[in-house]
């Protein structure tokens, strides 16, 4: 069956098969109930030729075309040879049936492939064709392809975002289900990234376009999924190579079935042995394998994409089934990568609100993630502006608040300016912000990254899927890394690592020849480690060009549980593909033996070929 064939119109697709079916049933009925109808023998031949040509002619043309391109032993050649032979020996109904069921099988295959493509297309290609561009304060509907970077566009409630951009309005909520599979709307702050395909859910918003229509993250993701089928899995490549060798051998054996008995059988009836050879040819057509296996992988890619998991090829579905070692970055993978204030400890005699307001005033002059965490926590606490703020690299900041000298930073900053502080400050494992007001120690607050809600569940699921080693790597403090690892149930965890240290750890892991390693990171800072792994998984890669470029698998949202989901989909795909291989070879082997022994007819051969192909296609379609 031709995997590339696309029928433009359903009616036009089914009409030849309907005509052929009606004529075939009519001919068989006349054969059984009114054989006298065929007053002239050639009438019967003409009738069955009329039934044969609507479904057989395209195959005959394809066979000639394939031969012209040097592909002699194609499935089209096998079908043509078998059916022409059936007409030669007068088995007209069987000859028509072979082509008819072949055509029906192709219709099923086209429908399955087309539906899978439509599902992926509907899932991802959700960009509107137009955008409301603000011109002199008025929204003007403009083709999205003509919108330029820097233009301001307006998104109404319920509208899909047509291009990538940054939010100019205050905090707004967006439905990202089409991109990530998340049912909960995502809240985006002012200046945050808004991506094509999202839906505004709570209010009208304005955004500034940051990428042209054809270069949006969604456009690249769509291209990635549509092209994923080009990266063939090893099983798929083997079947294609096998078919090229197998088909000529089948033809040679069929010729042998006709000619060898001539030397040893007496009497020898040519038509009887030709009929057996035709059965052998029809059974041997590798349609079920050549079509259902790629369809199985295509279905797996589609199923993953609906879960917000993008694979760059069916080959990675195979690799995911073999992964027994998972190496994970901590920040952004198992933790949210967003710092939050955990505890506030003012010194004795220092008012807590005054302390917090002073630290907030200083941190307002910093863009560091820790500063943003303090500002969020201390929102509503105000003691005035900080002035004369000076940043001291690697230490913190110095400035003036309410006329007093203020230091805000780490313990090294306190030591630099000879500010005495209690020993407990050095014993704190979390990231710490220490402050001094008027030259005296004023207290500290701790800031920590939150563990993701499904991180612990993910580790348990990976172990249940047969992952024997889970390793966590982090540039964070060793004490923090070990504590989070213990919370999650990870026994191997390493902290205080620079990027080159992570590479060294990965190389150490890969020294085990039995290890099939998946690395999970953000796809940007971890590019060298991703490249070293057997399969690189980018976490939270939605909107990140670097993540899409570097990784083999992209998890579009921030849920680590999708890693286990990707492995389950890989295993399910492998199971379906294996079932199809066993089904095809098993049934064909049985009917081949029966056919060669004269115990099967062309009708059994049709089932062994087209019937098994249909069953395999339906089985593969379950992956959707």
Which residue's structure tokens are 């690892």? 485
Q: Could you give the CA distance from residue 363 to residue 300 in angstroms, rounded to a whole number?
A: 48
* DSSP state string for 163-200: S-EEE-SSSEEEE-HHHH--SSPEEE-TT-EE-TT-EE
329-349 burial string, b = 16+ CB within 10 Å, else e?
bbbbbbbbbebebeebbbbee
Q: List C-alpha distances in Å: 565 to 117, 309, 504.
A: 21, 9, 29
Q: Could you give the CA distance from residue 386 to residue 144 in angstroms, rounded to a whole number?
A: 45
Secondary structure of 480-525 in HEC code, one letter for each residue: HHHHHHHHHCCCEEECCCCHHHHHHHHHHHCCCCCCCEEEEECCCC
Partnered with residue 445 across adjacent β-strands are 344, 433
Q: Could you give the CA distance from residue 51 to residue 101 in angstroms, rounded to a whole number?
A: 12
Say whether the peptide bond before residue 175 is cis (omega within 30 degrees of 0). Answer: no
Q: Could you give the CA distance from residue 528 to residue 611 in angstroms, rounded to a whole number?
A: 49
Catalytic, out of 164, 175, 318, 329? 329
Name the CA dihedral angle for 347, 351, 354, 359, rounded to a multiple of 10 degrees: 20
The yes-or-no answer on residue 329 being catalytic is yes
Q: Could you give the CA distance from residue 368 to residue 385 in angstroms, rounded to a whole number?
A: 18
Q: Calculate Rg over the CA atoms of the chain.
A: 34
CB 186 within 8 A of CB 202: no
Angle CA(443)–CA(496)–CA(366) in degrees, nearest 5? 45
Q: Could you give the CA distance from residue 346 to residue 354 in angstroms, rounded to a whole number?
A: 9
Which of helix, strand or coil describes residue 604? helix
What angle, 0 to 180 degrees and rounded to 10, lies between the N-to-C axes of helices 75-88 and 234-264?
30
Q: Which sign, positive or negative, has the C-alpha torsion 343, 345, 351, 354?
A: negative
Catalytic amino acids? 329
């Amino acid at each position: 069956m031709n995997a590339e064939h696309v029928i433009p119109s359903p009616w036009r697709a089914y009409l030849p098969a309907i005509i052929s079916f009606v004529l075939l049933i009519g001919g068989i009925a006349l054969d059984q109930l009114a054989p006298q109808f065929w007053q002239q023998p050639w009438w019967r031949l003409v009738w069955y030729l009329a039934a044969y040509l609507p479904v057989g002619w395209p195959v005959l043309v394809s066979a000639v075309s394939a031969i012209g391109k040097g592909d002699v032993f194609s499935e089209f050649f096998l079908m043509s040879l078998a059916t022409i032979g059936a007409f030669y020996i007068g088995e007209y109904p069987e000859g028509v049936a072979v082509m008819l069921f072949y055509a029906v099988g192709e219709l099923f295959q086209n429908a399955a492939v087309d539906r899978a493509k439509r599902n992926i297309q509907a899932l991802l290609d959700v960009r509107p064709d137009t955008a409301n561009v603000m011109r002199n304060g008025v929204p003007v509907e403009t083709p999205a392809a003509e919108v330029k970077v820097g233009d301001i566009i307006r998104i109404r409630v319920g509208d899909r975002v047509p291009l990538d951009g940054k939010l100019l309005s205050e905090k707004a909520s967006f439905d990202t289900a089409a991109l990530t599979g998340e049912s909960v709307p995502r809240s985006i702050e002012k200046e945050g990234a808004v991506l094509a395909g999202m839906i505004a859910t709570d209010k009208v918003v304005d955004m500034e376009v940051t990428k042209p229509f054809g270069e949006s993250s969604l456009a690249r993701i769509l291209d990635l999924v549509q092209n994923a089928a080009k990266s063939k899995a090893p099983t798929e490549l083997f079947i294609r190579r096998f078919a090229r060798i197998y088909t000529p051998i089948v033809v040679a054996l069929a010729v042998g079935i006709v000619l060898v008995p001539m030397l040893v059988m007496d009497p020898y009836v040519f038509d009887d042995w030709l009929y057996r050879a035709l059965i052998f040819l029809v059974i041997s057509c590798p349609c079920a394998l050549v079509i259902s296996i790629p369809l199985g992988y295509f279905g797996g890619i589609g199923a993953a994409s609906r879960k917000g998991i993008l694979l760059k090829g069916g080959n990675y579905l195979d690799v995911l089934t073999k992964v027994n070692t998972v190496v994970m970055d901590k920040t952004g993978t198992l933790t949210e990568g967003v710092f939050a204030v955990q505890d506030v400890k003012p010194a004795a005699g220092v008012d807590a609100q005054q302390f917090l307001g002073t630290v907030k005033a200083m941190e307002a002059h910093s863009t560091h993630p820790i500063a943003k965490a303090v500002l969020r926590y201390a929102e509503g606490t105000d003691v005035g502006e900080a002035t004369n703020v000076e940043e001291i690299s690697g230490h913190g900041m110095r400035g003036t608040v309410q006329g007093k000298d203020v230091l805000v930073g780490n313990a090294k900053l306190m030591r630099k300016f000879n500010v005495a502080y209690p020993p407990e400050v050095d014993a704190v494992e979390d990231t710490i912000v220490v402050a001094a007001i008027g030259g005296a120690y004023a207290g500290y607050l701790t800031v920590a990254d939150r563990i993701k809600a499904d991180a612990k569940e993910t580790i348990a699921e990976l172990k249940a899927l047969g992952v024997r080693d889970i390793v966590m790597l982090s540039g964070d403090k060793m004490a923090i890394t070990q504590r989070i690892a213990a919370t999650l149930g990870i026994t191997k965890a390493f902290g205080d690592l620079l990027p080159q240290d992570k590479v060294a750890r990965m190389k150490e892991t890969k020294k085990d020849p039995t290890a099939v390693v998946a690395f999970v990171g953000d796809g940007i800072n971890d590019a060298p480690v991703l490249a070293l792994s057997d399969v690189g998984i980018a976490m939270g890669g939605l909107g990140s060009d670097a993540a899409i470029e570097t990784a083999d698998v992209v998890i579009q949202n921030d849920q680590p549980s999708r890693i286990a989901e990707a492995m389950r989909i890989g295993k399910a795909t492998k199971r379906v593909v294996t079932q199809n291989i066993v089904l095809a070879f098993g049934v064909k082997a049985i009917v081949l033996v029966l056919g060669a022994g004269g115990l099967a007819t062309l009708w059994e051969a049709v089932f062994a070929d087209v019937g098994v192909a249909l069953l395999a296609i339906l089985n593969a379609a379950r992956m959707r």
